[in-house]
């Protein structure tokens, strides 16, 4: 029995198995259609909500499951093995709901969380801007307090579920600036259909088709004063308060995609014969399989080491950066070499291998690039 299998509790296994049934019954039959249509799979999100998979980390009193972070990773890893796009949409949604659960007023939690846990309301976190990506402290979106309302003005780039979400967590600078400092704050903004001045331009991406993101513009978007989440000036703390969990969750998505690619590669290497023997009997192919297997196992252990630390309230930024860095690089490595093991057929669009590879690429960019993860790890190792 593997170390991870030994460590999982019955409850964590139950979430993994629940996600596996969701994959078999809902995601797998739809994965290629989601890829082809590139349409946001709202029905799949609702089906995830019906099965409790959108509220794993949310409090039970607001319709969530109140389960731990290992349960979330076990579930999201399973889902990613069938569809990176569905997994990433759930991840973006979850990491919009968590700040509301942690910092919302009772009224905000009641208004948002139950519907988010059911998948009837979708969430999106909008931190990144055209001039503020890896350095999010350079945000320029403003929220001007004016006669009991805030007026949001600025531009946001990307943001998983942007535009299709029902609640956007927009990180902006309050104007007039607070006397206590220049910190940013978080504001709850409805979707473009319900917020005059909110424009959304969806962009096309290399992978994760069906997952929606693009460019959001806010021109004097009016929201009530009660739409402030948490306190003025605490926005960066609120947005970054989930970063260890977000990075570890992205790592689990990486190991999920890589597992699907690896299993396909192993099956194909046994089935495909050339020169009178299975291609898996050639040492060159065995080297690929051995490297994929070993790197994937190592990355998964880092992901679960970080997940267990988070579940034990011992979140460790160096560890979550290592987990995300390792798993996103491994996802790229394994999906690329799974295509290699398949030869020309791995490059075909009617097999999922090239989809896995395109989906995997984003993981070394979102939630902090691999370069940022390495900087974080090295700074802590060097005590800088």
Ligand X SMILES: Cc1cc2nc3c(=O)[nH]c(=O)nc-3n(C[C@H](O)[C@H](O)[C@H](O)COP(=O)(O)OP(=O)(O)OC[C@H]3O[C@@H](n4cnc5c(N)ncnc54)[C@H](O)[C@@H]3O)c2cc1C
Footprint on this chain of ligand X (rule: CB under 6 A): 92, 125-128, 133-134, 158-160, 205, 208, 213, 362, 365-366, 368-369, 371-372, 375
Q: Report the residue closest to ligand X, judged by CB.
A: 133
Residue whose CB is less far from ligand X, 70 or 246: 246
Q: Is the Cα torsion angle 32, 98, 111, 225 positive or negative in sign?
A: negative
Residue whose CB is less far from ligand X, 185 or 305: 185
Residue whose CB is less far from ligand X, 22 or 158: 158
- Alpha-carbon distance values, 198 to 30, 136, 220, 244 (Å): 31, 21, 8, 30
Shortest approach of ligand X to residue 359 CB, angstroms? 10
Residue whose CB is less far from ligand X, 33 or 371: 371
Residue whose CB is less far from ligand X, 108 or 373: 373
Residue whose CB is less far from ligand X, 340 or 380: 380
The answer to whether the CB of 304 falls within 8 A of the CB of 13 is no
Tokens, residue 339:
């295509």
Shortest approach of ligand X to residue 45 CB, angstroms? 15
The answer to whether the CB of 74 falls within 8 A of the CB of 8 is yes
Shortest approach of ligand X to residue 92 CB, angstroms? 5
Cβ neighbours of residue 338 closer than 8 Å, sequence gap 6 or more? 261, 262, 264, 265, 292, 346, 353, 356, 357
- Between CA 18 and CA 227 the distance in angstroms is 35
Shortest approach of ligand X to residue 147 CB, angstroms? 29
What element of type H or E holds 283? helix 283-311
Shortest approach of ligand X to residue 88 CB, angstroms? 7
The answer to whether the CB of 316 falls within 8 A of the CB of 380 is no
Residue whose CB is less far from ligand X, 334 or 366: 366
Shortest approach of ligand X to residue 370 CB, angstroms? 7
Shortest approach of ligand X to residue 124 CB, angstroms? 6
The answer to whether the CB of 248 falls within 8 A of the CB of 316 is no
Residue whose CB is less far from ligand X, 133 or 241: 133
The answer to whether the CB of 212 falls within 8 A of the CB of 165 is no
- Between CA 372 and CA 377 the distance in angstroms is 9
**How, if at all, do strands 185-190 and 167-175 pair?**
antiparallel
- Between CA 253 and CA 246 the distance in angstroms is 11
Tokens, residue 269:
């290497």
Shortest approach of ligand X to residue 95 CB, angstroms? 7
Residue in the block written with tokens 């690896």: 262
Tokens, residue 41:
């799979």
């Amino acid at each position: 029995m593997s170390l991870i299998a030994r460590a999982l509790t019955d409850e964590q296994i139950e979430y993994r198995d629940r996600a596996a049934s969701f994959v078999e019954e809902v995601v797998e039959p739809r994965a290629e259609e989601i890829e082809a249509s590139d349409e946001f799979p709202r029905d799949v999100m609702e089906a995830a909500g019906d099965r409790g998979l959108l509220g794993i980390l949310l409090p039970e009193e607001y319709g969530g499951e109140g389960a731990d972070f290992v349960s979330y990773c076990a579930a999201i890893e399973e889902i990613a093995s069938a569809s990176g796009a569905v997994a990433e949409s759930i991840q973006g949604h979850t990491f919009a709901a968590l700040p509301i659960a942690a910092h919302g007023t009772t009224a905000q939690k009641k208004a948002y969380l139950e519907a988010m846990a059911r998948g009837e309301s979708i969430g999106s976190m909008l931190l990144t801007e055209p001039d503020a990506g890896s350095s999010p402290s350079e945000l320029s979106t403003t929220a001007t307090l004016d006669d009991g309302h805030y007026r949001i003005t600025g531009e946001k780039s990307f943001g998983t579920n942007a535009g299709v979400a029902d609640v956007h967590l927009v990180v902006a600078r309050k104007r007039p600036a607070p006397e206590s400092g220049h910190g940013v704050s978080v504001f709850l903004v409805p979707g473009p259909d319900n917020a005059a001045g909110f424009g959304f331009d969806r962009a096309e991406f290399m992978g994760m088709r069906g997952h929606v993101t693009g460019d959001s513009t806010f021109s004097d978007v009016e929201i009530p004063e009660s739409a402030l989440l948490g306190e003025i000036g605490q926005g960066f703390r609120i947005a970054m308060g989930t970063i260890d969990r977000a990075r570890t969750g992205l790592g689990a998505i990486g190991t999920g995609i890589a597992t699907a690619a690896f299993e396909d590669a192993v099956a194909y290497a046994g089935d495909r014969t050339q020169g009178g023997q299975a291609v898996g009997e050639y040492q060159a192919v065995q080297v690929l399989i051995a490297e994929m297997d070993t790197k994937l196992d190592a990355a998964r252990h880092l992901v679960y080491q970080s997940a267990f630390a988070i579940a034990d309230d011992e979140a460790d930024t160096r560890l979550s950066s290592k987990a995300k860095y390792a798993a996103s690089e491994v996802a790229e490595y394994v999906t690329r070499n799974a295509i290699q093991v398949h030869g020309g057929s791995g490059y075909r669009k009617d097999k999922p291998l090239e989809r896995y590879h395109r989906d995997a690429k984003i993981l070394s960019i979102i939630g902090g690039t691999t370069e940022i993860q390495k900087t974080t790890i090295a700074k802590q190792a060097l005590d800088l």
